[in-house]
Amino acid sequence: MKNYWPLKSYFQFTSQQRTGIVGLFIIIIILEILYFAIDFNLTEKFFPEKEQWISLQSKVDSLKQIQKDKKPMQYSFNPNFISDYKGYKLGMSVAEIDRLLAFRKENKYVNSAEEFQEVTKVSDSLLEKISPLFKFPDWTHNKSNSNFKNEKKDYRKPDFKSGKIALLDINQASQEDLVKIYGIGDALSLRILKQKELLGAFVSMEQMNDIWGLSPEVVSQLNSHFKITIPRDLKKIPINDVSLKELSQFPYFKYALAKQIITYRSMNGKIDNIEDLIKIKDFPVEKAKIISLYLEF
């Protein structure tokens, strides 16, 4: 009986096919060997720059934490110029603040922590807390305690503060003249002179309010001792002929406003007066009178 196997036909291969199958098995075996023999885990590359950044970041984080934990720095101040808000922050009552302000309206100044308590009637505990922050002008420390106790108290600074006041032209004032005002030192006096240089001259004492760092009390003192005389040779800005670059250098005009003025002039023709400039958006109307004194129409 002849053997019959129905699947025999599926296992009959030509010599080329048998060679291919053998080759495929060899490849599979090789790949298996490689798989178990080689470690395919990726080794982490070392980047020195990364390590440096990580180290730097840790330092930054530590500094941030130190800054966060650090108490706000308290700066020294002259108690003669305590405002309502400043006094409230220091813990003074409304009555204590009012006593100091009334005292200052008499053009008087406290020159020590003891005088401050005498005027304001603050408690000993509050004085002990805030007095380390007091900073008085150097000249107040030159007085001997014995003489100060025996003499009649005069809370005003010498020079401009006593005697008959002669008004000086602030456009002619020197730094020495300005520092005689109580509350003005070298930095503020130079700032005033710098502003005068930028403008060519002051045309109104109201301009003192525009100088950063001058308190209302100091401005009041300036108004009491100085006046304004507008120089005849004050160089004015020819508003209808000036270039954008020149106009933007004027302290009262920023570049954006100067550009709007040039555009307005191009579209509407000649600018006749300050009223024409007031029509321009963002023009500082509240300073129009002062600005007009610097312009030539």
Q: Give the pLDDT of residue 59.
A: 74
Fold match flag (164-227 vs 237-296): yes
Q: What is the pLDDT of residue 7?
A: 61
pLDDT of residue 84: 79
CATH hierarchy code of domain 164-227: 1.10.150.320
> What is the rounded (10 degree) CA torsion for 118, 120, 125, 127?
-80
Look over the chain and give the mean of its residue pLDDT values, rounded to a whole number.
Answer: 81
Topology of 237-296 in CATH?
A: DNA polymerase; domain 1 (1.10.150)
pLDDT tens for 34-64 read: 888 876 665 555 556 666 767 777 777 777 7
Are the beta carbons of 223 and 262 closer than 8 angstroms? no
226-227 and 295-296 beta bridge pairing: unpaired
Model pLDDT for residues 140-195, shown as the tens digit of each residue: 555 444 444 444 444 444 445 444 457 899 999 999 999 999 889 999 999 999 99
Strand partners, 77: 134
Q: What Cα–Cα distance (Å) separates residue 60 from each residue in 47, 65, 68?
A: 20, 9, 12
| Contact indicator for 261, 222 with CB cutoff of 8 Å | no
Mean pLDDT, residues 22-31: 89
Q: Is the pTM of this model over 0.75?
A: no
Sign of CA dihedral 99, 102, 104, 106: negative
Ranges 61-70, 197-206, 227-236, 246-255: which has the least confidence: 61-70
Question: Lowest-pLDDT range, 12-26, 122-136, 253-267?
Answer: 12-26
CB 120 within 8 A of CB 100: yes
Domain layout of the chain by residue ranges: 79-137, 164-227, 237-296
pLDDT reported for residue 158: 43
Closest CA to 101 of 83, 89, 76, 122: 83
**Ranges of H-type helices in the chain:** 15-37, 48-69, 84-90, 94-105, 113-120, 124-130, 145-150, 175-178, 186-199, 216-225, 244-248, 255-268, 274-278, 288-292
Contact at 8 Å (CB) between 199 and 251? yes
Higher-pLDDT residue of 253, 74: 253
